[in-house]
A = this chain, B = another copy of it.
Amino acid sequence: MRDFSVDHRWLSLNTATVRKQGSLVEIVEACARRGIRAIDPWRDQVASVGLDRAVRAVRDAGLELSGYCRGGMFVADAAHRIEVRDDNRRVIDEAKALGAPCIVLVAGGLPQYSRVGSAASRDIAQARTQVHDGIAEMLEYATQANMPLAIEPLHPAYAADRACVNTTRQALDLCDALDPKRTGMLGVALDVYHIWWDFELMPQITRAGKDRLLAFHVCDWLVPTKDILNDRGMMGDGVIDIKSVRAAVEAQGFAGYSEIEIFSNAWWQKPMDEVLWTCIERHRSVV
């Protein structure tokens, strides 16, 4: 297991962590000042400064990407299927332009939440079928572009509105079904917030192996969690034994960035520099 205590060379910042404090360009510049070497930007943050300017800012700051957030939201009614396909092709094009190593996929939940305007449904089994088929379709274009896709299992609390892929086992079942030859083009993005509770986590990480482990995200689970979406904790403030999960992914050979992604009404209210300073300190002490 790598020693993170001496520096923060393996820290990546998911830019949603400070999305309320500045534009993507400002975040990139702040990361560069702090010696943070990598980011994972969100599409809306890229769009609001413009793709070309985002590409330049990342390149000028000498940053790498640890991923691009996000593709997916595959569940829709028939009227929105073309939108899903085209939207996910654009994600791939953007990720290529930005030099991302992979795209994080959030699968989508029920159609009325995944694609606004879709007819409402309670059929989560049907949603899962659409996710399977949607990834299969996206994977063709991604493979042509040589852009790996990382399925992120989301906490079951998001099953209805964000993702009906909710465990590492389920995500890996999809990988095995759609990429049985393990081409390197399909894997998982594991965020401790979503998966820490799972009694099967450790054997499923072993099952994943290095070539399916495309991204590793950290934050913490607070007790109580006051807001199911925007009350994630800074590492060390909650109950997750983060080091044991990192040890497990690194035992499989994962050697990439440890990406900090914190959706938090509390941390969004603090100055960007304080958040970044705290991220670096916690990365070294508890990740």
Contacts and interface: CB of A to CB of B under 8 A. Distances in A.
Contact of A155 (B157, B165, B199): B157
A165 B197 CA distance: 9
A145 interface: no
Interface in A195-252: 196-200, 221, 223-225, 228-229, 238-241
Given A199-B128, A199-B170, A240-B122, A223 B113 contact: yes
Contacts of A62: none
B157 A198 contact: no
Which of A123, A124, A155, A198 has the most C-beta atoms of chain B within 10 angstroms of its own C-beta?
A124
A223 B161 contact: yes
Contact of A122 (B124, B156, B239): B239
Contacts of A157: 155-157, 225, 228
A121 to B, nearest CB: 9
Q: Count this chain's copies in the assembly.
A: 2
Contacts of A156: 155-157, 197-198
A272 interface: no
A238 B128 CA distance: 19
A228 B156 CA distance: 12
Interface residues of A, number: 34
Contact of A124 (B124, B167, B223, B241): B241
Nearest to A194: B156
Contacts of A155: 156-157
Interface in A165-199: 165-167, 169-170, 173, 196-199
A128 B122 CA distance: 33
A287 interface: no
B164 A197 contact: yes
A63 interface: no
A230 to B, nearest CB: 11
Nearest to A222: B160
A166 B197 contact: yes
A282 to B, nearest CB: 15
A285 to B, nearest CB: 14
Count chain B CB atoms within 10 A of each CB in A157, A173, A200 and give the residue with the most: A157
Interface of A: 110, 113, 122-124, 128, 155-157, 159-161, 164-167, 169-170, 173, 196-200, 221, 223-225, 228-229, 238-241
